[in-house]
Structure 1
Amino acid sequence: MTKQSQESWRITNVRIVADEEIISGSLVVAEGKIAGVYPEGSDVPAAYGELPVVDGEGGWLLPGFIDVHVHGGNGAEFMEANREAFDRITAFHAANGTTCMLATTVTAPHDETEAVIREVAAYRAGDMPYAALHGVHLEGPFISERWPGAQNPAYIVDPQPAWLEDWMARWPDTIRLLTLAPERRGAGDLIAMLAERGVIVACGHTDSGYDDIIAAVDRGLSHAVHTFNAMTPLHHRKPGTVGAVLTDPRICAEVIADGHHVHPAAIRLLVAAKPADKLLLITDAMAAAGLPDGEYKLGELPVVVKDGAARLKDGDTLAGSTLTMIGALRFMVEQVGVSVQDASRMASGNPAKQLGIADRTGRIAPGLQADLVWTDERFAVRQTWVKGRTVARA
């Protein structure tokens, strides 16, 4: 097929998750964009009659997933900082419905972190054949020694504004999100500087109390990574980081919905507490995602995966996940009890809004990019498209 025919097609006999409603019918893609949604029984314009047709077989058509927190998959991680690893990761997650992601680092030396930023910028400048990299999420190294999780404590440092100034000058619009512990020396000034420059700042791996987080939000912090994990917990006299995340509507909250990191009841509490547009599904996936149980690494740290749960070999600390975005959506619907529309918003629309790209992706609506995932009735991915082009097919 020509490029135009690859990016122009229609899908029929499918349940389309469009904003607040589910429409049974068909959808037309023209030159990489959504041209129209047509309920069952309505006429598709004759101009689209000759386009290739995909039979949706009564399954679901969802906006492509946007994962703002993912370290790797299928045996590769972003810290490898090369195109082969990036292709391997983005191909794997595309096969599980992801169409856009942030390459997420681990706490590492300056030069290793810089290499990831440099190589992601170069990757984005060329052809991205699978899920698109929207930029980098720096998870650390400005985090708490008390809450390192599966981050290497040897490389934890206080905030270094000069590093960020240098990286942003050399690779503009590449660093999209940074996770830090707001209680660290100099964190407040860095939060304000980054927020002013359009970088999302998140709390995570933090020993901050409630008041610390609220003060950080006042300076520009707007995000919380893997809520409940690696942060001070909720107590009725000391609300902690979790209490601030639950109660401050300015904070977007991530959650790892895999059944290992957070109990379904705690996720229900999070869903009830947060505004509808302030909860994001993430994978926090490591290199072992998509591979059998066994021994792996997250950065330099040895990890053991057993029954799908990844833990540091030395101890019982959870170390990222083996989750996929389709797995997170399925868990939210089947175990937490949210609607398909709400789970879709958490996996696509909300992250698009948080990243500032909701004007072009994250929803199914005419004029937006055809970033789409088609699944069967049980949410098994059949096909994924980025800008109308097939990037994965079962």
Structure 2
Amino acid sequence: MNCYVYADKFFLHDGVYGPGFLEVKDGKFAAFSEVHPNESANVIDFSGYWIAPGLVDTHIHGFKNHDVMDNNIQGLNAISEGLLSSGVTSFLPTTLTSSTETLTKVVKMIGENYLKVTGAKIKGIFLEGPFFTEKHKGAQNKDYFCDPSIELLENWQNQSGHFIKKIAIAPERKGAAEFIGHAVNNGVAVALAHSDAPYEVAKQAVEKGASIFVHTFNGMSGLHHREPGMAGAAMSLPNVFAEVICDGHHVHPAAANILMNARGRKATLLVTDCMMAGGMPEGRYQLGEFPVVVKEGAATLESGSLAGSILQLIDAVKNVVNWGIATPEEAIYMASTAPAKSIQQDGECGRIAAGLAADFIVLTPQLELMATYLDGNCRYQAKNFKGKEVFQ
């Protein structure tokens, strides 16, 4: 696709511009100009709409009735295809705590097949577990919890073709400091999660190189005025990113706002933690080995504990704007550029910049998703979208 895209507003890598014309050449972004190109140029008219970078979900377990832990390429591809309807063009398939053997099979399958998916692009693997502690286990199986193991990580890296880009651990577990240093030195972003660590232990982990707090406020020791805990660390330590699930169930809007104000919106990551029931009707599903009930927008275990979410990333963007805690520009950044930066993939995705793949979304001013483009090709279009018009 070689053309110019015209729209009212563009969320580019260095700011918001428009109306104007964005050139797409050989499937990549080229120059942007507010001046009409030459008369013979092929221009796609998105008058009345906004153009934003494709969203990047760095924490997602499943979608459209498929789970990453199902361990099959058909399911992985179905997730990839389904995510286009959520505005997601890049993602990290996310595992759950399981046996060493099962995790080995899953990361091997992803590493061998990630280039075969035909929808949203897979940018790496996020291993959520098994190096957690029981108190804040959430929907993770405590029977497989263990101390961080460099040997296990190396085995999984070898099996996946060195495709693991992010791993979550509880920093209070034995050997965490050495593990963090090894992982970071080998290009793996270390995240902190499912942990009862006090503030000082979290601080020490960050000093060793940990750089992401997973689903902040959920699955971690809370903020207390005499013990700031993991939540306090997520809000106050320098040079880290903090995930937040903005579905209205996991975190109160006011708490999300406090986090964004403390952390800064450029270091806050909108993630979904979506499980297989995402994009599906209410009912009974599975999250790994656990049965889950989906009702009234929430996914819960039989105990009543939250079990991931059914959130779609474009809805997280809309939510934080509708809650009045972020501007559209900030919300889009938190769901695209910031997640890409957190795993050092912003040179490949999450931004509209010359030379990057033309992965972008078309939005209404109310942030309704109208279309998703991969490499300059329309791959999803909303039923109520009036369509695009080409003019000279």
For this structure pair, what is the TM-score category when the shorter chain's length is used for normalisation? over 0.9
Aligned to 2:8: 14
Q: Distance in 1 between matches of 2:98 and 2:308?
A: 16
* Equivalent of 1:34 in 29, 36, 46: 29
Select between 80-89 and 224-233 the one with higher mean Cα deviation.
Answer: 80-89
- Equivalent position amino acid for 2:29 in 1: I
- Equivalent position amino acid for 1:164 in 2: L
Aligned to 1:107: 97
* Equivalent of 2:36 in 35, 43, 62: 43
Q: Distance in 2 between matches of 1:294 and 1:94?
A: 23
Aligned to 1:268: 257
Q: Distance in 1 between matches of 2:159 and 2:129?
A: 20
- Equivalent position amino acid for 2:181 in 1: A
* Equivalent of 2:282 in 269, 293, 300: 293
What is the DSSP-based 3-state SS (H/G/I as helix, E as strand, rest coil) of the residue aligned with 1:95? helix
Q: Distance in 2 between matches of 1:161 and 1:336?
A: 43
Equivalent pair of 1:91/1:392 in contact (CA under 8 Å): no
Equivalent pair of 1:232/1:242 in contact (CA under 8 Å): yes
Q: Distance in 1 between matches of 2:120 and 2:335?
A: 14
Equivalent pair of 1:283/1:322 in contact (CA under 8 Å): yes
What is the DSSP-based 3-state SS (H/G/I as helix, E as strand, rest coil) of the residue aligned with 2:352? coil
Alignment of 1:82-97 (within 5 A): 82-97=72-87
Q: TM-score, normalised by structure 2?
A: 0.94
* Equivalent of 1:326 in 304, 314, 321: 314
Q: Distance in 2 between matches of 1:322 and 1:57?
A: 32
Question: How big is each residue's C-alpha offset from its partner over 1:336-393, in whole Å with a ceiling of 9 and x where there is no partner?
Answer: 4311111111111111212222223222222222110112232222211222233322
Question: How big is each residue's C-alpha offset from its partner over 1:141-182, in whole Å with a ceiling of 9 and x where there is no partner?
Answer: 110111110111222222222111122234333101001101
Q: Percent identity?
A: 37
Select between 149-158 and 295-304 the one with higher mean Cα deviation.
Answer: 149-158
Equivalent pair of 2:66/2:79 in contact (CA under 8 Å): yes
Q: Distance in 1 between matches of 2:153 and 2:377?
A: 35
- Equivalent position amino acid for 1:28 in 2: E
Aligned length: 381
What is the DSSP-based 3-state SS (H/G/I as helix, E as strand, rest coil) of the residue aligned with 1:59? strand
Residue 50 of structure 1: how far off its partner (Å): 4.3
Superposition RMSD on alpha carbons, in Å?
1.5
Q: Distance in 2 between matches of 1:276 and 1:310?
A: 27
Q: Distance in 1 between matches of 2:347 and 2:242?
A: 21
- Equivalent position amino acid for 2:123 in 1: H
Residue 332 of structure 2 corresponds to residue 344 of structure 1: yes
Residue 223 of structure 2 corresponds to residue 234 of structure 1: yes
Equivalent pair of 2:81/2:119 in contact (CA under 8 Å): yes
Equivalent pair of 1:131/1:391 in contact (CA under 8 Å): no
Select between 336-345 and 384-393 the one with higher mean Cα deviation.
Answer: 384-393
Q: Distance in 1 between matches of 2:162 and 2:229?
A: 32
Equivalent pair of 2:111/2:160 in contact (CA under 8 Å): yes
Q: 1:295 to 1:371 in 2, by over 3 A?
A: same
Equivalent pair of 2:358/2:376 in contact (CA under 8 Å): yes
Q: Which runs of 5+ in 2 are unaligned?
A: 383-392
Residue 238 of structure 2 corresponds to residue 243 of structure 1: no
Q: Distance in 2 between matches of 1:240 and 1:91?
A: 39
Equivalent pair of 2:360/2:374 in contact (CA under 8 Å): yes
* Equivalent of 1:75 in 58, 65, 90: 65
Residue 57 of structure 1: how far off its partner (Å): 3.8
Equivalent pair of 1:249/1:278 in contact (CA under 8 Å): no
Equivalent pair of 1:22/1:341 in contact (CA under 8 Å): no
- Equivalent position amino acid for 2:19 in 1: S
Aligned to 1:387: 375
Q: Distance in 2 between matches of 1:260 and 1:278?
A: 22
Q: Distance in 1 between matches of 2:353 and 2:180?
A: 34
Residue 241 of structure 1: how far off its partner (Å): 0.4
Aligned to 1:4: none
Equivalent pair of 2:372/2:381 in contact (CA under 8 Å): yes
Equivalent pair of 1:249/1:275 in contact (CA under 8 Å): no
* Equivalent of 1:252 in 225, 228, 241: 241
- Equivalent position amino acid for 1:213 in 2: A
